[in-house]
């Protein structure tokens, strides 16, 4: 299992990094459209779409391709990011409050459409972040990764109080606080590097610092970290409701696409919304 996990990660990184490094957006957009289409299939499948799940994944990929051709990746209005954030706060938090048993009670069309819309918004935010610059997109991705790694090790070492036992028994409040400290440490380090080394674009941390000041930056990083937890728990809730361990088996050793990007889904639009202030 570990060997599979490492090999899959190496292959993904080998494909992803070159598409991020090139100046043009379309190679990165094309690669991520494949991923978001797969995530749409997984989402529809987890919510009981059956044989129609493949068609829904294709529809999502076509919608992303159309948005790219229309220039939305560069010109999406800030209201799009705030709308996506509002959907996460209202829909995602409401689902978590109601719990696993209540999720199937939501009308199936509402569940499926909500997920596809949130996936579309996350993809659009991801490609827009790429159009801003390599430094910007990597700083957003790294925030989620750093928080996740710190939460894992902090939870293993100090975890006592369960964060959401009915949804994800392995997560603890101590792990969540460790993740926040990891995100703060990364933000401080990245700010220092931004000020010392000329890079292609400002990072999300420099952008927030310039617009909101250090106190505002700290609040923003805390909000981004918290929404990453919401995204992670939301996907866990849907999987548990469907009786599934992973969203699919597309990525050997990792599960499915949703399993790898769940925390990013609310963080990407929120990051762009905060930068638009």
pLDDT single digits (tens) 264-275? 999 999 999 999
How far, in Å, CA of 201 to CA of 135, rounded? 6
8 vs 263, residue with greater confidence: 263
pLDDT of residue 73: 83
pLDDT of residue 252: 77
pLDDT single digits (tens) 86-100? 999 998 889 999 999
What mean pLDDT is predicted for residues 206-220?
96
Over the chain, what is the mean pLDDT?
92
How far, in Å, CA of 219 to CA of 200, rounded? 26
Residue 47 pLDDT exceeds 90? yes
Q: CB of 107 within 8 A of CB of 151?
A: no
What mean pLDDT is predicted for residues 238-255?
88
Q: Which of 196, 85, 207 is nearest to 143 (CA)?
A: 207
The mean-pLDDT minimum among 6-15, 22-31, 106-115, 174-183 falls in 6-15
Q: CB of 248 within 8 A of CB of 260?
A: no
The mean-pLDDT minimum among 11-20, 37-46, 190-199, 263-272 falls in 11-20
What mean pLDDT is predicted for residues 182-208?
93
Band of pLDDT at residue 75, cut at 50, 70 and 90: confident
User: For the chain, what's the residue count?
Assistant: 277
Query: Considering the chain, what percentage of its residues have pLDDT values greater than 90?
Result: 74
Band of pLDDT at residue 5, cut at 50, 70 and 90: low
pLDDT single digits (tens) 121-179? 999 999 999 999 999 999 999 999 999 999 999 998 898 899 988 899 889 999 999 99
Band of pLDDT at residue 54, cut at 50, 70 and 90: very high
Band of pLDDT at residue 2, cut at 50, 70 and 90: low
Q: Can you give the residue ranges of every domain in the chain? A: 2-275
Structure tokens at 159: 């975890």
179 vs 249, residue with greater confidence: 179
Residue 204 pLDDT exceeds 70? yes
Query: Considering the chain, what percentage of its residues have pLDDT values greater than 70?
Result: 98
Residue 22 pLDDT exceeds 90? no
For helices 26-46 and 2-21, what crossing angle results, to 10°? 140
How far, in Å, CA of 273 to CA of 277, rounded? 7
Helix (H) or strand (E) holding 169: strand 168-172
């Amino acid at each position: 299992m570990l060997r599979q996990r490492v090999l899959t990660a190496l292959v993904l990184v080998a494909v992803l990094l070159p598409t991020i490094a090139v100046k043009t957006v379309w190679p990165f957009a094309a690669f991520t459209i494949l991923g978001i289409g797969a995530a749409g299939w997984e989402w529809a499948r987890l919510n009981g779409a059956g044989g129609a799940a493949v068609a829904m994944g294709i529809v999502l990929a076509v919608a992303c391709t159309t948005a790219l051709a229309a220039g939305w990746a560069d010109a999406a209005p800030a209201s799009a990011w705030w709308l996506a954030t509002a959907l996460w706060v209202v829909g995602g938090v409401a689902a978590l409050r109601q719990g696993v048993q209540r999720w199937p009670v939501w009308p199936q069309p509402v569940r499926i459409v909500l997920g596809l819309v949130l996936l579309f918004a996350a993809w659009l935010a991801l490609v827009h972040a790429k159009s801003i610059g390599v430094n910007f997109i990597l700083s957003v991705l790294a925030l989620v990764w750093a928080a996740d790694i710190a939460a894992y090790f902090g939870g293993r070492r100090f975890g006592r109080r369960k964060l959401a036992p009915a949804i994800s028994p392995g997560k603890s409040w101590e792990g969540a606080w460790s993740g926040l400290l990891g995100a703060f440490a990364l933000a401080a380090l990245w700010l220092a590097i931004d000020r010392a080394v000329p890079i292609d674009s400002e990072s999300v941390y420099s952008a927030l610092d310039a617009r909101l000041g250090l106190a505002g930056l700290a609040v923003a990083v805390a909000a981004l970290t918290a929404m990453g937890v919401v995204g992670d728990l939301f996907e866990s809730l849907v999987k548990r409701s469907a009786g599934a361990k992973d969203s699919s088996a597309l990525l050997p050793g990792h599960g499915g696409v949703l399993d790898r990007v769940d925390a990013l889904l609310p963080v990407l639009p929120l990051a762009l919304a905060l930068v638009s202030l």
